[in-house]
Chain A
């Protein structure tokens, strides 16, 4: 790690003018950090939009261009998959929500531009989730976790079914019925999220797919980031930065954000999102919202500690920005994510099973 280069990626994404006096050491740090954080495509988009591509040395531009090509293929393949998924879920007679990466890309949001994602996340009402899964099975998607324990873990405790993978194309779908694990103690109103969702046009799939409202989208992205393992912290935070920056112009967005998050019992991750997005990317947040976030976060007794831990996950896992202390804090965050996901009386037996029984089965 070097203090001179460890925040290159965040700074270039926040303000592309930052690259003006870069030498090859700076470029190597920037490209390396973007590669390890899965943000190379977004970086390329950012430099392109700022009109800075011409200033980028040809050798570096090659890799940015490669990332844009890969992202374009990714987008085309997403639309193909959605057409098949659309056919599989047509008979549900209910709307199907696209979440996260698929939603950003299908809606044409800034956050979705040249963003690479591995899974397609869908959400349907819990009452039809088994029927939806059956529809996907019939179109060639197969369950990945065949072990009875894992099946039960997902079906009884989680907010999503075990992932399904397409038997020839390998596409993975996560089918959700709500946006956070019910065992976490936060219970958002899933029916309301679905009822409020907005239509999104996907070729060959009229009137089927929807996406969360801007406020709910930010809320979900924040949950995913701050209740998760924070392994791709910077990438997920950049999603937040893009969403907040783009939705800022919408009528009543800022007024609705925190009250709505409170209604769904998800205020905490949204406060963190506002706080970190502003700190790392300098997101433009109205003073009133920022002051309220700061006040509410500092009133929590774990505030300082959590802040210090999460800070570590916002540095790319690249030699130019990584250190053993940052790695150690990431380990604690990983443990924290499990702690947040379920109460101790469920977590301990689960970890014991994973540690002792599960590894035996795999070995056998």
Chain B
């Protein structure tokens, strides 16, 4: 595994050729293999910028998730080109403007994983690990979750995911699925300034979520992408401009209900979901945090997460 080659070992020409081949570019995402096909140049650029450290999968390995990003045909090839996402030949979304092709690949992959993780309770949350214990940050979009996640990842926390907390129904552990971190609007510049190590990919303007770009996940996180983590802390972050930093403990019942509100598949799981959520909440300390800048909250959070582990 350690000696296996990575995307960065491919030249631009080789990468483009694999993306155009019938089998696609076979890449390892956590314990899964994705086969990505695309003839759109921004997709190749985005992959070479953000997936550089990801391991390649062998061509005789089973591909779990074949996805494709292609341009539309006919006149649309020239005038206002579009990007179309396909999974197994099916088209789950409407096409988007061509400039958003790479972002669409990321959203498409999120959709694929949420729809196929039947072994997990899935919560819309960023997940990181420190000293063997997991931090789940659950919040609706616009709460600053991804920015905070990028900030912690740049300070050496291990990234499990910036989007999906996958809590095993059988073992209660967090399954890592490190992928590029999605950043929106002002947070793109903010993260760029945080560290010279931050690699930001192509920027898509005027998407449904505003301006969107992605940050390359730390290489160390990818090396440990198969190591599951015991959840330990649950945080509900709420960013507000000029807000003072206030972190307070949240009771079990409220933590439970807030996680339910941020879960993708809780209702579908029935009793199993209830039990898994109960086990998760029992195993963790819950906190609600208001903050106005990363400088305030990061030290507070690191102090909480070292004192109670």
Contacts and interface: CB of A to CB of B under 8 A. Distances in A.
A318 interface: yes
Interface string B161-173: 0000000000000
Contacts, number: 52
Interface stretch (A65-73, A213-221, A350-358): A65-73
B168 to A, nearest CB: 12
B286 interface: no
Contact of A69 (B66, B118, B267): B118
Nearest to B63: A28
B89 A319 contact: yes
A63 B112 CA distance: 13
B64 A63 contact: yes
A324 interface: no
Given A27-B62, A57-B62, A66 B119 contact: yes
A198 interface: no
Contacts of B63: 24, 28
A70 B118 contact: yes
Given A57-B62, A59-B61, A59-B64, A318 B118 contact: no
Contact of A66 (B66, B118, B270): B118
A125 B8 CA distance: 67
Interface residues of A, number: 26
Interface in B105-139: 116-119
B242 interface: no
Interface in B63-84: 63-64, 66
A77 B90 contact: no
B197 interface: no
B268 interface: yes
Contact of A318 (B88, B116, B270): B88
B300 to A, nearest CB: 38
Contacts of B295: none
Interface string B32-65: 0100000000000000000000000000111110
B190 interface: no
Contacts of A59: 33, 61-62, 64
Contact of A317 (B90, B116, B117): B90
A363 interface: no
A35 B61 contact: no
B62 A60 contact: yes
A69 B89 contact: no
B268 A73 contact: yes
A69 B119 contact: yes
Nearest to B269: A73
B60 A23 contact: yes
Contact of A73 (B64, B90, B117, B270): B270
B177 to A, nearest CB: 14
B174 to A, nearest CB: 18
A76 interface: yes
A19 to B, nearest CB: 13
Contacts of A67: 118
B90 A36 contact: yes
A24 B62 contact: yes
A53 to B, nearest CB: 15
A35 B88 contact: yes
Contact of A32 (B61, B89, B119, B270): B89
Contacts of A27: 62
A322 interface: yes
A67 B118 CA distance: 8
Interface of B: 33, 60-64, 66, 88-90, 116-119, 267-270, 272
Can you list the 9 inter-chain pairs with the closest CB atoms, starting with the nearest? A66-B118, A59-B62, A319-B89, A69-B118, A24-B62, A32-B88, A70-B118, A318-B89, A35-B88
Given A32-B89, A59-B64, A69-B119, 19 more contacts: A23-B60, A24-B61, A24-B63, A28-B62, A28-B66, A32-B66, A36-B88, A36-B89, A57-B62, A63-B64, A65-B118, A66-B117, A66-B118, A67-B118, A70-B118, A73-B268, A77-B268, A318-B88, A319-B88
Interface of A: 23-24, 27-28, 32, 35-36, 57, 59-60, 62-63, 65-67, 69-70, 73, 76-77, 80, 169, 317-319, 322
16 contacts: A24-B61, A24-B63, A32-B66, A35-B88, A36-B89, A57-B62, A60-B62, A62-B64, A62-B119, A66-B117, A73-B270, A80-B270, A317-B89, A318-B88, A318-B89, A319-B88
